[in-house]
Amino acid sequence: MLAIRNLEIHVAHSCNLACESCSHYSNQGHKGVLPIEVAAQWMAPWADRLAPRVFSLLGGEPAIHPLLADFVPLVRSFWPRAHLRLVSNGFLLARHPELPKRLAEAGNARLTVSIHHGSEAYRQRLLPVAALLRSWIDNHGIDIVFADSHANWTRRYHGAGAAMEPFEDARPRRSWKNCNARYCPQLLDGGIWKCAPLAYLPMQDRKFGLSPKWTPYLDYRPLPSTCSDAELRAFFGREEESYCSMCAARPKRFSPPQPFPERARPQASR
């Protein structure tokens, strides 16, 4: 088995927030959740070939999935030794009262609550979430952390929707070195994709019909489960690729607007 840092899977493509320039395109109005039996089919071929140190459940917002808690024992059945990480913005976790019990039973698991704005108004909305999670800690002893995702937020593309455009810095090595997701391969459709921006780009293209500038990146093909051991090692041994050029060589941090959907979704400017 090949030891790797991390492997991720989307359990839901939609999100209750709309964070500008989301690297998973979850701010673009995508819908759909991953059937748990399909997830099992995707995981099975890799279970005896990959040993991820961390296996991450995310989205979109994973708590949109009505069977979110069932994914915890599913992952544990395939990767009993991996650290299981569930990333959520927290606002919908009350829908899943069985989740803390499943996390406690799984062991070696953490719930990361990702904070997407630094304002007092946002933190006031988080107060009921924090109270709920305190009760989960008290009653189940699970590991929960809050992460200020907004503090390192960068623009991943220009514009949005059909007007979305890639960066054109043509410096893939620098783009890879400055990428926060360079060790975040995605399990999607049974294959493994280098990163979320590449994995979910076809979904974005199907919804909006992207410009020809995206064609080189839409030509990306994931690593299939039928790959050889040599191909597997080569995939995880590669650092930058030409596809990394779709992202900025020197990503600039910016303060995203409030991500609540009742606010009109702003169009990112160049």
Residue 267's pLDDT band (cuts 50, 70, 90): very low
128-164 tens-digit pLDDT: 999 999 999 999 999 999 999 998 899 999 999 999 9
Residue 184 forms part of a structural domain: yes
CA–chain centroid gap for 198, Å, is 12
Residue 169 resides in a domain: yes
d(CA 233, CA 34): 28
DSSP state of 259: -
Q: How far is CA 204 from CA 31, 117, 136, 163, 224, in A?
A: 11, 24, 36, 11, 21
* Residue 149 within any structural domain of the chain: yes
Summarised one tens digit per residue, pLDDT across range 40-75 is: 999 999 999 999 999 999 999 999 999 999 999 999
Contacts from 226-234 at CB under 8 Å and sequence distance 24+? 229/2, 229/49, 232/2, 232/49, 232/50, 233/2
Predicted confidence (pLDDT) at residue 265 exceeds the cutoff of 50: no
- Note whether 218 and 210 are within 8 A (CB): yes
Q: What tokens were used for 10?
A: 């989307």
Split into its structural domains, the chain has a count of 1
Q: Identify whether 91 is part of a domain.
A: yes
Tell whether 261 is covered by a domain.
no
Q: Assess if residue 65 is contained within a domain.
A: yes
- The dihedrals phi and psi of 261, each to the nearest 5 degrees, come to -65, -15
Is the distance from CB of 162 to CB of 209 less than 8 angstroms? yes
Q: Residue 213 belongs to a domain with what CATH number?
A: 3.20.20
Please indicate, yes or no, if residue 254 is contained in any of the structural domains: no
What's the average model confidence in pLDDT over 178-199?
97
* pLDDT above 60: residue 25: yes
What is the band of 78 on the pLDDT scale with cuts at 50, 70, 90? very high
Q: Is there a contact between 161 and 21 (Cβ–Cβ < 8 Å)?
A: no
Q: What range does the domain containing 172 cover?
A: 2-246
- What does the pLDDT read at residue 264? 40
What are 54's two structure tokens? 């961390």
Residue 143 CA: distances (Å) to CA of 70, 85, 103, 109, 231: 18, 10, 9, 7, 36
